[in-house]
Amino acid sequence: MEINHYEFEYGEYGETIGIQINLRGFDVLRFNNISKGTAFTIDERHKLKLSGFLPPRVKTLEEQVKSSLSIIEEKKTDIEKFIYIRSLYDRNVILAHAVIASDITKFLPIIYTPTVGLACQKYSSMFRGANGIHFYPGNIDYAEYVLRNYTDQDIGIAVVTDNQGILGIGDQGAGGIPICLGKLMLYTQGAGLAPWHCLPISLDVGTDNEELLNDPNYLGWRNKRLRGEEYYTFIEKFVTAFKKHFPRTLCQWEDFSKQTAFTVRDKYLKELISFNDDIQGTGAVALAGILAAMKVKKEKMPDQVYLVNGAGAGGVGIAEQIWTELVEQGMDEKEASEKIFTMDSKGIVTLDRKIEPYKMKFAKDPKALTWLTSPEDNTILNLIKNEKVTVLIGTSGQPGLFTKELIHAVGENTDRPVILPLSNPTTKAEAVPQDVYDWTNGKALVATGSPFEPVHYNGRDYRIGQMNNSFVFPGIGLGVVASGASEVLPVFFSAAAHAIAGFVSEQDLEDGILFPPLDQLREVSLEVGKKVGAEAIKANVTQMGCTFSKFKHNNDPERLNILVDKIRWSPRYFNQA
């Protein structure tokens, strides 16, 4: 007797889905979404014609996880661990996610930043097998046909990169797709969106990275990057095909560079269900940290002065989210802008300079800066002192930029300076938390973009909260997919920030810690997802429910919460008790 389907459940509410399997024998083992490897029971081995193709012993998922963890421990470097987990994913999706879920704090830096940056650089040389979709000038004209041929068609989220602004290491050509793979693993770990509802896409428009162009192993389209009209025509062809084939799928733009990131985001805000995590996700997670800091300081955001040093996509995204929150808290739009300063490699962003359009919103009139009388005055220290900066944010990628003198200057303006060195990886952080604590006698409120060891101060260890975008984007995706939102609204990111800040425990706030621990990622994502979904219902941009669930929320927030729980997937085998 042959088995023709497995039945498994989504979430604790038990929505049962039948998966039809027409494969038999080795083909079952090669299909990573359903393969259990040595966990196939004797009965299943007979029904699926696997008898004799596996060793006799049947292992449980828990035993497989334990074995995999022991193998990972033997790996000497994080990139070796990354390769093992990815190869495990290609064989057995459920086991790979069960391994990651066993210690998300430990594995997050391996499956995503910082290790994924090295994986991008080594992509061509360590290529093992196909993952996701690669569009390039040779196939973009029949993009819809390519999308239609992809194995999984019930897609909830696609992460799409043009490979140019990869994690501070720049243009990686075809090598950027591991970024998409890593992000989608976190959508599964945090939001609980099953791997077969996730699609990684690379838009390979060439590369200006000479090292790649001269590498005989390079797997990408070996040409200089498309620019101008050619580039935007390529993007338009992709968007047209994607929207036609996946009209209700969320598209997350990932690691586009500076002006291009804003141009693409803004052009397709209404045309696609889309957002840019580097801009909006970064802005939301930074706002969450600031909101938590205000709870510690017992002050309000309109009473602060903000300096974002590093006016790239992430930095301006942070400035945008701070501005939005200030306006929502009752400030006049012009007054809110006056509270926010941005700096780039040339100093304060001012209107008398030739600057990219995306920097214009927070560019200052130099005449209003009465203390700025000569080019020599245009320094971060002078800005902090003269404008009374109380919240210092680093997105510049310049290690050690926040010196003792700068931190002291911020401390002169407030009893509890908020210092946020957010650049990744750890080696590029603008300050080391231990130094900031020491320089301010433990008064500074610190969070970082990369993981740091706890700070030892005054006889105690203090965990350093990590401003990791993984607290934001999985929940955004969950809320959008579950609600069936037809667009991604700015209020979604405000809701996410408040949800994250609300997750910081009273004890952590008392200790000056601004973020929950990463091992609460799944719980935080659930709360963010429900808050985002509720905002979508409130804004009347929903379509009654998720595309891959029969249960509909009918614009009822309580039913939405049930639906969110229903569609959340956990790594367990089909038919597992």
Mean pLDDT of 266-287: 95
Instruction: Give the containing element (helix H, strand E) for 7.
Output: strand 5-10
pLDDT in tens, 282-311: 999 999 999 999 999 999 999 999 999 999
The position carrying tokens 């935080």 is 524
Of 489, 486, 435, give the one whose Cα is nearest residue 464.
435
Q: Which domain holds residue 523?
A: 471-548
Is 183 annotated as catalytic? yes
85 and 182 co-located in one domain: yes
Residues 454-477: what's their mean pLDDT?
Answer: 95
Would you say residue 553 lies in a domain?
no
Same domain, 475 and 421: no
Residues 334 and 387 in one domain: yes
The one-letter code for the residue type at 53 is: F
* 268 is a catalytic site residue: no
Q: Domain holding 166: CATH number? A: 3.40.50.10380
At residue 166, the pLDDT reads 78
The pLDDT value recorded for residue 10 is 43
Residue 214 counted as domain residue: yes
Q: Is residue 313 part of a domain?
A: yes
Q: Domain of 40: which CATH number?
A: 1.20.1370.30
Do residues 49 and 117 share a domain? no
Which of 427, 443, 468 lies at the terminal end of a domain, its last residue? 468
Q: CATH number, domain at 345?
A: 3.40.50.720
Question: Is residue 480 domain-shared with residue 384, that is, in the same domain?
Answer: no
User: By percentage, how much of the chain surpasses pLDDT 90?
Assistant: 78
Confidence (pLDDT) at 19 = 57
pLDDT in tens, 146-201: 999 998 888 999 999 999 987 767 889 999 999 999 999 999 999 999 999 999 99
Residue 127 falls inside a structural domain: yes
Which distant-in-sequence residues (6+ apart) come within 8 Å of 242 by Cβ?
143, 147, 158, 249, 251, 272
Q: At 157, phi and psi to the nearest 5?
A: -140, 135
Contacts of 406 (CB under 8 A, 6+ apart): 380, 381, 384, 392
Whether 134 is in a domain gets the answer: yes
Same domain, 327 and 404: yes
Does 20 share its domain with 130?
A: no
* CB-CB contact of 339 with 326 (8 Å): yes
Q: What value does the mean pLDDT take over residues 273-281?
A: 95
Q: How far apart are CA 300 and CA 140, in angstroms?
A: 50
Looking at the fold, whether 463 and 478 belong to one and the same domain comes out as: no
Q: Which of 272, 296, 324 is the last residue of a domain?
A: 272
* 11 or 517, greater pLDDT: 517
Structure tokens at 370: 């009465």
Q: Is 377 helix (H, G, I), strand (E, B) or coil?
A: helix
Q: Is there a single domain that holds both residue 395 and residue 323?
A: yes
Q: How many domains does the chain have?
A: 4
Tell me: do 295 and 419 sit in the same domain: yes
Instruction: Tell me, yes or no, whether 554 lies in a domain.
Output: no
452 part of a folded domain: yes
Q: Would 136 be classed as within a structural domain?
A: yes
Report pLDDT for 428: 87
pTM: 0.92
Band (576; pLDDT cuts 50, 70, 90): low
- Residue that terminates a domain, selected from 406, 437, 468: 468
Average pLDDT taken over every residue of the chain: 91
Q: Which of 254-258, 360-364, 482-486 has the lowest mean pLDDT?
A: 254-258
| pLDDT class of 545 with cuts at 50, 70, 90 | confident
Residues 433, 480 within the same domain? no
Q: What is the model's pLDDT at position 279?
A: 94
- The catalytically annotated residue of 81, 183, 297, 339 is 183
Sheet of 445-448: strand order equals 347-348, 340-344, 306-309, 391-394, 418-421, 445-448, 465-466
Q: Are residues 249 and 345 in the same domain?
A: no
